[in-house]
Amino acid sequence: MKVIILAGGIGTRLWPLSRTNYPKQFLKIKKMARSIFQMTYERCLKLTDHQQIYIVTNINYKFLVVGQIEELGHQIDDRQILIEPVGKNTLPAIYYGVKEIQKQGDDITVVFPSDHLIKDEERFINTIKQGENLADQYIITFGICPTKPHTGYGYIKPKEPLQVGNRVDQFKEKPDKETAVNYLAMGYLWNSGMFMFRTDIFCQEVKEYLPDVCDAFKSPNILDIYDQTPSVSIDYGLMEKSKNVAVIPLDVHWSDLGSFDAFYDEFDVDEQGNLNFDKDILIDSSNNMLYSNKEKAVALIGVHDLILVDQKDALLVCRRDHSQRVKEVVDRLKELNDPRADYHLTAYRPWGSYTILEEGFFYKIKRITVLPGKKLSYQLHHHRSEHWVVVKGTAKVTIEGKETFVRSGESTFVQTGFKHRLENPGKVLLEVIEVQLGEYLNEDDIVRLDDDFGRSSGTLE
Amino acid sequence: MKVIILAGGIGTRLWPLSRTNYPKQFLKIKKMARSIFQMTYERCLKLTDHQQIYIVTNINYKFLVVGQIEELGHQIDDRQILIEPVGKNTLPAIYYGVKEIQKQGDDITVVFPSDHLIKDEERFINTIKQGENLADQYIITFGICPTKPHTGYGYIKPKEPLQVGNRVDQFKEKPDKETAVNYLAMGYLWNSGMFMFRTDIFCQEVKEYLPDVCDAFKSPNILDIYDQTPSVSIDYGLMEKSKNVAVIPLDVHWSDLGSFDAFYDEFDVDEQGNLNFDKDILIDSSNNMLYSNKEKAVALIGVHDLILVDQKDALLVCRRDHSQRVKEVVDRLKELNDPRADYHLTAYRPWGSYTILEEGFFYKIKRITVLPGKKLSYQLHHHRSEHWVVVKGTAKVTIEGKETFVRSGESTFVQTGFKHRLENPGKVLLEVIEVQLGEYLNEDDIVRLDDDFGRSSGTLE
């Protein structure tokens, strides 16, 4: 069995926790040991071998995918990470994965989003495996057994039963409350966005209902393919049209974490209904969600039903029943070209991460963390000098070809225009405080002379 | 005419804007050019010469007083700053000032709190001056003409009129709403805590009604005096007992800024009733006060009637009609020995200030700002080394007796145990990024070998 994980989503409704460059699926949420991408990946390992898992994402998330899989103790081949040059909704993403799988021959394939939270893992795995009984005839979708008349999800109306599950009668858009109540009474299921099919059957269906997509993928060049293919979802483009669709009910706890209100529902609250991730001071306050930095003193007095998310560079205060509107904030920030729509203060790189601690006139301070055995590119900057103070571990520093070791408590200095490289030759994390000085301090002032990760000059990745 | 400014108050109701070590009167509030202490001081200069102004405060605020007066372009003699070893309410503070004034001979003296906001300055000055007409016979209090039936202030009931103002019939405690409405109808005035008297008359009255205070001040030692004197307010201890009290109505805009709700009332709000000090994103939100760092992206969605104060190390979210309860948060933090009750991340020193940017395991990063011509003490630390990167101005650095100049963009390093001094020999601000490294990084690891400001080792002042 093959698996395609869709990991290119840029959901904006958990801002400021998530940002365009670090979306929901990769978030390390407090009280959870792993990101939901990592949980998805580990679930897939119970269905198949890690060699059989394909991940469709975009270039911005490539190193997040690699890094988070490495963190789980696994390796992933480059051929298993499919980079879409641009997002064109779910159908082209799945088709891209399918075409890659077909290089090894046709097979039964399961498709999972990577941004959904699922509990009851054993039942989940068993139900997914049952799909194989229908895969010779049907494209299978898994429908979540609903627990309440939710108006934020699409529904699936089943008709006559099959060996397992049912044929699908109709897909229904997000309903209003009254309709949702009816849907529940009539046994409709939530549309979860999880599918199973034989790749040859899937391709036949795409050829029939979406010939434009099929044609686009005949181009040898991925840029051309994504330039030509229409943007279309698998639901609208295929599932609603195909005559061979089955649905298997999936009776597990499931959430798309599509808003902070859904997020709130996933955790235990205290007696006053507060979900507090730290030891904050709550006076006469109830039914709030409070997510802040543990270093910060936060106090609430006399407030109720609020979502409060405090990050170093951004603060959201939102009434819980308005949490769908967080997207409007992100839209507003994008209009203003505000980088906080897209970036955290902490940026993840293939070699580790950095956090901007402070920006002032002509200077910027970063904490740089380099993973054991990794090195940054050999590079130079035209507009800034860099002071490095090692606060943890040992750095191997190359400046204009000369190598030195800089130990914890020691420092070094890189002049403007000098070629340099920072490397962690050790077995523990390397932490460096960098003070940059210069009249231009943006990340794109970088000339890369050599890079372990194949990155070019003037780019962020 | 002499002036006593009371500047020892530690009001906690504007936390986290104010902290015990940086209280309300010294705050530089956005949209205001000066602190209310500075505004008070400048008003006093319209009544008398700067040599005649005495300031009663405590050791923690001494350099704030000096610094903020210097900032206004004035100098203050050490004899004009009276340092109480411990707060014993208003009467001993005023008596301390009076005793000091009497060293120059008896005089008419005005007493002002430094934490009240006053507009209509010309009318204010003219009204205060009228008090001189009554000073030969009365202790005069200035009663604010009330604008609404406020339940947060004490009231003064006037009786028969004098040449100016009236004799006082009674002082009234904070009333309930209904009583306050009656008070307004009957022409009562707000008790403002501003007084005028002849020092000889004042001392006679203290001798009569508060002989314990009088006796305590006979000791030659200020520690003994404050050990012996009872803690007592001028209102309760003297004004309510004396038979020679007059009140002069003061028809000016006045606020004690005693809570964030009062704070909110002092500024213009937008059409939705929001008081926003920065360009934050407010969606479907009204009647909020939002005070944050301008570097931070703050968004409100669907929230109303909230006080939101966001500082780097602390966040308060409070319903506006609960703003009196902020004190409870400070009490809670004190119980927890949380330094954020008392300190900001920025600390003011006689030579300038520093801001803690980041604290990690075994390291701490500070931005140090040294005023032109000032120098830190010649000092050493037993437990930390310090890396200094100059980001603005030029530093004169002395390490083990050796002087060097470190210019913007350059850096230097002070080893653990080495004697060192940082100095700004220039005409512009010096800004240094300091990375401290060591197993113990608290401020009390300091041995002072020489200090321009008379400070000793192991102390913070």
Residue pairs spanning A and B at CB distance below 8 A: 180
A400: left (phi over 0), alpha (psi -120 to 50) or beta: left
Mean pLDDT of chain A: 94
Predicted confidence (pLDDT) at residue B460 exceeds the cutoff of 60: no
Q: What is the mean predicted confidence (pLDDT) over B23-48? A: 95
Q: Do the Cβ atoms of B433 and A431 come within 8 Å? A: no
Listed in sequence order, the residues at least 6 apart from B337 whose beta carbon sits closer than 8 Å to its beta carbon are none
Tell me: the pLDDT tens digits for B157-201?
A: 999 999 999 999 999 999 999 999 999 999 999 999 999 999 999
Is some CB atom of chain B closer than 8 A to the CB atom of A392?
A: yes
Tell me: the pLDDT tens digits for A382-438?
A: 999 999 999 999 999 999 999 999 999 999 999 999 999 999 999 999 999 999 999
Mean pLDDT of chain B: 94
Tell me: the pLDDT tens digits for B291-317?
A: 998 889 999 999 999 999 999 999 999
Q: In this structure, are strands A378-380 and A447-450 parallel, antiparallel, or unpaired?
A: antiparallel
Is some CB atom of chain B closer than 8 A to the CB atom of A298?
A: yes
Q: Do the Cβ atoms of A431 and B360 come within 8 Å? A: yes
Q: What angle in degrees, to the nearest 10, is found between the helix axes of A121-130 and A36-44?
A: 50
Q: Is the peptide bond before A149 cis (omega within 30 degrees of 0)?
A: no
Query: What is the spatial distance between Cα B41 and Cα A2, in angstroms, rounded to a whole number?
Result: 77
Residue of A314, A325, A385 lying closest to B301 (CB–CB): A325
Listed in sequence order, the residues at least 6 apart from A105 whose beta carbon sits closer than 8 Å to its beta carbon are none
Amino acid type, B457: S
Predicted confidence (pLDDT) at residue B411 exceeds the cutoff of 80: yes
Q: Do the Cβ atoms of B357 and A362 come within 8 Å? A: no
> Which of B156, B95, B139 is CA-nearest to residue B244?
B139
Closest CA in chain A for residue B281: A329
pLDDT at residue number B361: 84
Predicted confidence (pLDDT) at residue B147 exceeds the cutoff of 80: yes
Judge contact between A13 and B301, C-beta under 8 A. Answer: no
Cα→Cα distances B66→A47, B11, B69, B117, Å? 72, 20, 5, 20
Q: Do the Cβ atoms of A363 and B328 come within 8 Å? A: no
Ranges of chain A whose pLDDT falls below 70: 457-461
Is some CB atom of chain A closer than 8 A to the CB atom of B331?
A: no
Q: Do the Cβ atoms of A437 and B391 come within 8 Å? A: yes
Tell me: the pLDDT tens digits for B357-396?
A: 998 888 999 999 999 999 999 999 999 999 999 999 999 9
The confidence band for B331, taking pLDDT boundaries of 50, 70 and 90, is very high
* SS3 sequence of B334-362: HHCCCHHHCCCCEEEECCEEEEEEEEECC
Tell me: the pLDDT tens digits for A282-303?
A: 999 999 999 998 889 999 999 9
Q: Do the Cβ atoms of A297 and B340 come within 8 Å? A: yes
Is some CB atom of chain B closer than 8 A to the CB atom of A413?
A: yes
Token pair for B396: 């004169």
Q: Do the Cβ atoms of B433 and A295 come within 8 Å? A: no
pLDDT at residue number B461: 44
Amino acid type, A8: G
Query: What is the spatial distance between Cα B1 and Cα B115, in angstroms, rounded to a whole number?
Result: 21
The Cα of A12 is separated from the nearest Cα of chain B by a number of Å equal to 14
| ipTM of this predicted structure | 0.90
Q: Do the Cβ atoms of A281 and B357 come within 8 Å? A: no
Q: Residue B328: its chain A contacts at CB < 8 A?
A: 283, 301
The helix (H) or strand (E) run that includes residue B127 is: helix B121-130
Q: In this structure, are strands B281-283 and B289-291 parallel, antiparallel, or unpaired?
A: unpaired
Is some CB atom of chain A closer than 8 A to the CB atom of B392?
A: yes
Q: Is the peptide bond before A161 cis (omega within 30 degrees of 0)?
A: no
The confidence band for B327, taking pLDDT boundaries of 50, 70 and 90, is very high
Residue of A313, A333, A391 lying closest to B296 (CB–CB): A313
The SS3 assignment for A333 reads helix
The residues in A 275-294 lying below 8 A from B, measured between CB atoms, are 281, 283-284, 292
Is some CB atom of chain B closer than 8 A to the CB atom of A297?
A: yes
pLDDT at residue number B79: 93
Q: Which domains does chain A have, with CATH numbers?
A: 2-255 (3.90.550.10), 269-327 (no CATH), 346-450 (2.60.120.10)
> Which of A370, A343, A348, A379 is CA-nearest to residue A359?
A343
pLDDT at residue number A114: 97
Is some CB atom of chain B closer than 8 A to the CB atom of A303?
A: yes
* SS3 sequence of A392-456: ECEEEEEECCEEEEEECCCEEEECCCCCEEEECCCCCCEEEEEEEEECCCCCCCCEEEECCCCCC
Q: What is the mean predicted confidence (pLDDT) over B278-289? A: 95
Q: Do the Cβ atoms of B363 and A433 come within 8 Å? A: yes
Residue of B318, B357, B409 lying closest to A385 (CB–CB): B409
The Cα of B136 is separated from the nearest Cα of chain A by a number of Å equal to 50
The number of residues in chain B equals 461
Judge contact between B164 and B136, C-beta under 8 A. Answer: no
Is some CB atom of chain A closer than 8 A to the CB atom of B328?
A: yes
pLDDT at residue number A349: 87
The Cα of B392 is separated from the nearest Cα of chain A by a number of Å equal to 9
Is some CB atom of chain B closer than 8 A to the CB atom of A439?
A: no
Closest CA in chain B for residue A304: B319
The SS3 assignment for B200 reads helix
pLDDT at residue number B100: 97
pLDDT at residue number A461: 44
Residue of A281, A317, A326 lying closest to B308 (CB–CB): A317
Closest CA in chain B for residue A318: B301
Residue of A292, A296, A318 lying closest to B302 (CB–CB): A318
The lowest-confidence range among A139-153, B95-109, B349-363 is B349-363
